[in-house]
């Protein structure tokens, strides 16, 4: 991938790998990690309500 100059792919892959490693270390240290669904609800909840109001 490096020779074909897929730098964006390498950066995205490295970012996901780092997030995964951080989550793994937090789990190993018995630190409670919040559910990702809370973040998804916070992001898409207002947009869903807006769409529901527009379509009703």
Instruction: For residue 5, report the phi and psi dihedrals to the nearest 5 degrees.
Output: 65, 45
Q: How confident is the model at residue 8 (pLDDT cuts 50, 70, 90)?
A: confident
The reported pTM is: 0.60
Q: Report CA-CA distances (Å) from 17 to 2, 5, 13, 29, 50.
A: 17, 19, 6, 18, 35
Cβ(1)–Cβ(9) under 8 Å?
yes
Cβ(1)–Cβ(10) under 8 Å?
yes
3 vs 45, more confident: 45
Average pLDDT over residues 10-26: 94
Average pLDDT over residues 16-40: 92
Q: How confident is the model at residue 1 (pLDDT cuts 50, 70, 90)?
A: low
Q: What angle do CA 11, 14, 15 make, to 5 degrees?
A: 85
């Amino acid at each position: 991938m490096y020779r074909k100059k897929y730098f964006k792919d390498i950066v995205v892959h490295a970012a996901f790998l780092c997030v995964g490693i951080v989550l793994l270390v937090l789990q190993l240290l018995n630190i409670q990690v919040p559910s990702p669904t809370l973040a998804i609800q916070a992001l898409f909840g207002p947009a869903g309500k807006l769409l529901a109001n527009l379509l009703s």
